[in-house]
Amino acid sequence: MAGDDLAETKKGSSKNTKNSSNESKLKQKSPAEFFAENKNIAGFDNPGKSLYTTVRELVENALDSAESISELPEVEVTIEEIVKSKFNSMIGLIDRERVDTQLYDDYETEKAREKRLAKEARVSEIQAKNLASGKKNKEPGVSKVLKARGEASYYKVTCKDNGKGMPHDDIPNMFGRVLSGTKYGLKQTRGKFGLGAKMALIWSKMSTGLPIEISSSMKSQNYVTFCRLDIDIHRNIPHIHLHEKKGNKEKWHGAEIQVVIEGNWTTYRSKILHYMRQMAVITPYAQFLFRFISETPEKNVTIKFTRRTDVMPPIPIETKHHPSSVDLLLIKRLITDTAKKTLLQFLQNEFVNINKTLATRLIGEMGPDFSPSMAVKSVTSQQMVRIHQLFRQAKFDDPSGNCLSPAGEYNLRLGIIKELHPDMVATYSGSAQVFEGHPFIVEAGVSVGGRDVKQGINIFRFANRIPLLFEQGGDVVTRTALKRINWNSYKINQTQDKIGVFVSIVSTKIPFKGTGKEYIGDDISEIATAVKSAIQQCCVQLKSKIVKRLQAREQQERKRSLSRYIPDATGAVYEVLKQMTEEHKKKRKSYGEEDRVIIEKVSKDIITKEILTEKLAEHVEQVDYEMALEYATQSGVSEEPRENIYLQHLDPNKTNFIDLHSPTFVFRLIL
């Protein structure tokens, strides 16, 4: 018995040790697994938001691809609704009729059904009575449709572009491996996380299990790559179903990506269309075709956002880090990755605004343990801390904004006019400024009036030339426009006028707030000041236009008032002249020489009532013109001789030209 107890004790002890070992074993997650479990970080909070984010990621990838080869973007986006039966046939699942109806979440009891039908009958009876008595019926409320929690809506999202395309061998890793891509580096990029279509593939894997399909061809390639793949989330590697080359007789280049996901078009329809419209505002040089295809033809949507200009912003340039923007980890990585041998070469070539002279001075300030010729790979952790401390304390020139690619005043103005058709618009592009060692440029536009614009202040926010549609309340643009601008001082009525406020911020680092990166915080004084200044500059321009318009309106009213009294005035004057003529004939009164000349003309009908009316009207016109000229002179506007300008149609074969930019036009000089 004792032996058995001892054996049992040893067995239990061994079992507990094994469990303890399993519990203490470290587990590791792949990047794909992390984002799959925290999909809300990347904007995949729910099916509706996931549909919106998928469209956004594909469109932004398409624009980046076309702009990288200086090709005017042409982007086609199609969302096709897939009903449950069609989806089941796609995955090879046979539809099955319900057997136990009470098992389902949308089951309706007989009593509940009778209650619902009775309510619908009462509503119909009230509407019939109102119709008979001539009363207006209220809009019927949206009836609650019982829908099971597990019943999903599926959509096939397709995005096609005319961009650069992708190398045949790189496609699997570009889509099937999270945190791998071509956009990493210090430069202005549209992406927020560098995930792109990878997150759409992860969402597809989680919601439908279907793979993504990619067709791609690069310029001068005689084949099109077709790849069907999904992702092994736990191992963060692509799972390739098919990877082949096809013929390319049409010489097409670009990419076409197709993914089937769970979504909700009904709740996010307005957001998706609003996104496409704002994208057309900030990229008027692109052409977008958006289609929604439903099983019900009446719900189909087709919208084409036509190209308004062929002037594209410059391509963003990858730049080096500014010394004041780096941390210890980044310094260590730069030392590990650098090809330079000495510390002097490292400082001079891996950072902006450090020339040879300044690098030598910095090394001298670091202390006796440092020398210009010391091997950079031999720098210790303690020495890295010293370098970091000096970078934070030393004074450096600000980085230039040459690496940035703002939309430009011309494009911003064109986009606003094209989409909103405002009564008046003003734009402003600020100079490059700096926060935390990162350059940024703020561009703004303010419009008054327009189509599909609500009364009050309508805010349109852009970061690195992509629209921001969520979490508007805490954004620096919203707070500035609503709380820091005195609109009345610019002759703009904040509540009654239709005001559009457009602000675009571009930078090598956008200081987003929140996990979803949907808004820019109000706590960075440099950006807040630049945004306020840009909006105010637009308001100053608008005030000048509004004042001129008010002056012109007052002049028109004055002219109209004077013209209204012309018949009465001429009638009264002519009656006096006639009376003077009668008195002169009867010699009742004598008049001077000038008066007798006028009386003579009246008696001979040389001066008539009609002639007086005509002359008085001419005088009113002359006075109005002189007042307008005086106002223009006081405002600094002079009337100068005008010359005709003849615009020649551009020869599409001539690509050698220089663009001279202005806020209101671009002059193209063909060489």
Q: Which whole-number Å values give the CA distances from 200 to 47, 231, 508, 564, in the listed order?
A: 11, 11, 25, 69
271 is in an annotated binding site: no
Is 58 marked as binding a ligand? no
- The candidate with the shortest Cα–Cα distance to 254, out of 74, 466, 80, 78, is 74
- CB-side exposure of 539: number of CA atoms within 13 Å? 20
Helix axes 566-585, 593-603, angle to 10 degrees: 100
Distance CA 323, CA 524 (A): 19
The residue type of 317 is I
Whether residue 196 is annotated as binding a ligand: the answer is yes
- Encoded tokens for 171: 């496609």
Which one, of 355, 344, 434, lies nearest residue 387 by Cα?
344
Is 430 among the annotated ligand-binding positions? no
Task: Please choose, from the candidates 324, 664, 358, 260, the residue with its C-alpha nearest in 3D space to the C-alpha of residue 526.
Answer: 324
The DSSP output letter for 70 is T
* 517 labeled part of a ligand binding site: yes
Q: Are 443 and 538 in contact (CB under 8 A)?
A: no
Kindly calculate the radius of gyration of the chain based on its CA atoms and give it in whole angstroms. 37
Helix (H, G, I), strand (E, B) or coil at 573: helix
Q: Is 46 a known ligand-binding residue?
A: no
Q: Where are the beta strands (DSSP E) in 534-593?
A: none
d(CA 23, CA 12): 16
The residue with tokens 């730049």 is 319
Query: Is residue 175 marked as binding?
Result: no
Q: How far is CA 452 from the centre of its chain?
A: 17
Residue 604 marked in a binding site? no
State the virtual CA torsion across 586, 587, 593, 594 in degrees, nearest 10: -40
Q: What is the DSSP string of 414-438?
A: HHHHHHH--SEEEEEEPPPEEETTE
- Find residue 666's DSSP bridge partners: 661
Rounded CA-CA distance 629/621 in Å is: 12
**Amino acid code (one letter) for 489:** S
Give me the phi and psi of 368, to 5 degrees please. -70, -15
Q: Is 161 annotated as a binding residue?
A: yes
Residue 182 marked as a ligand binder: yes
Instruction: Reduce the DSSP state of residue 321 to 3 states and report it.
Output: strand
Say if residue 194 carries a ligand binding annotation.
Answer: yes
Q: Which helix (H) or strand (E) holds 532?
A: helix 525-564
Known binding-site residue numbers:
61, 161, 182-183, 191-198, 517
- Return binding residues for ATP: 61, 161, 182-183, 191-198, 517
